[in-house]
Amino acid sequence: MMTYNDPAASSMGADGPILRCEGITKAFGGVNAVNGATFDIPRNMITALIGPNGAGKTTVVNILSGAMKCDSGRVQMGSTDVTNWERYKIARLGLMRTFQLSRELGGLTVLENLLVAPKVQAGESLFNIFFRPRLLKREERQNIERATEILRTYGLYDLRDNRARELSGGQKKLLEISRGVMASPSLFLLDEPMAGVNPALIERIGGYILDMKAQGVTVLMIEHNLNVVERICDNVIVLAEGKTLATGKLSELRENKEVVTAYLGEVINASTSH
């Protein structure tokens, strides 16, 4: 079962941030969706990206993952400058992401959704398909074993042969996260993983995210549920009007007037009185 870690016990690590984002900007027509966001994502921590609607959170995730190109600024992953790289190249460096609205590979089964995830597979080469069948078999067997283990952990095992499009909303969320885990990411960007799911599932997803961290995965999650942020995130980045307003622990940010005005305001009161 999942092990829950004490977030405070983790440290930043000697290698510096896993991802550094410097002054990125992105405009859509006349609207500056992202306007100079600058932040670091510390290694082996769970970082929350919070901010009001329209603050540019999803655009930032899109830029970091290569789904959108930024107009200016720099994105560095480890020591590699990945600014405006193609998506698949960034993914191959170990950055996985989920989407705000779950995007399953609908025609594939649940198991196949996971089997497609390993970034580079010998079975994707025509030469290997026809001339190295044993290598393919071995690789496929290993992948099936790993995918089965993940599906069991995520409670999706019984649905393995169902087409992904037949799953419920919550199951699709789990599938998307487990697919990302199958790809063995070093940095996992989760875009509102808890949005629209029932409280029991929020508990489980929270557990899975902590488990990922225990396995050495760095997580950046966009999240509006401050209860969750407070419990599992080590670090919080507040984005407002496309700029980084503040970073730090949520408890520190509560004291920050700018943050309270821009985002926390009523929400934080509700959260603390809860």
Partner 1 sequence: MSQFWYYVFTLVFFLFDYFILAMGLNIQYGETGVLNFAYIGFVALGAYVTGAVSLPNSVGTGQQYIFGWNMPFPVNLIMGGVAAMILAVIVAFIALRRLRTDYLAMVLISLSLVLYDIINNYPRLFNGADGLYNVPQPMTGIFHMGTNTFVIFFSLVTGVVALILWAVMSRITRSPLGRTFRAIRDDADVAAALGKGVFRYQLMSMLIGSFFAGVGGGLIIEFGGSFNPSAWLPGETFVVFAVIIVGGVGNNVGLLVGALLVETLLIHLPAFLPDIPGHPGLIEYIDAIVIGIVLMIMLWFRPQGMVPERIRRFPQPAGELLNRDGHSVVAPTLTEAVASVSANAPFSDAHEGTDA
Contact 87, 69 (CB under 8 A): no
- Should residue 124 be labelled a site residue for partner 1 when binding is judged by CB under 8 A? yes
User: In this structure, what are the phi and psi dihedrals at residue 158, rounded to the nearest 5 degrees?
Assistant: -70, -15
Binding map of partner 1 across residues 32-51, x = CB under 8 A, - = no contact: --------------------
Pairing of strands 218-222, 235-240: unpaired
Number of residues in the chain: 274
Q: Which stretch binds partner 1 (CB under 8 A): 49-57, 75-83, 139-147, 239-247?
A: 139-147
Contact 21, 75 (CB under 8 A): yes
In the complex with partner 1, the residue whose CB is nearer, 172 or 243, is 172
Contact 175, 102 (CB under 8 A): yes
Contact 245, 37 (CB under 8 A): no
Out of 84, 109, 256, 271, the only residue in the binding site for partner 1 (CB under 8 A) is: 109
- Should residue 96 be labelled a site residue for partner 1 when binding is judged by CB under 8 A? yes
Contact 174, 182 (CB under 8 A): no
- Should residue 127 be labelled a site residue for partner 1 when binding is judged by CB under 8 A? no
**Interface with partner 1 by CB under 8 A: which residues?**
1-6, 65-67, 86-88, 91-92, 96-97, 99, 103-109, 111-112, 115-117, 119-126, 129-130, 136, 139-141, 144-145, 148-149, 152-153, 155-159, 161, 163, 171, 179, 183, 200-204, 206-207, 210, 215, 231-232
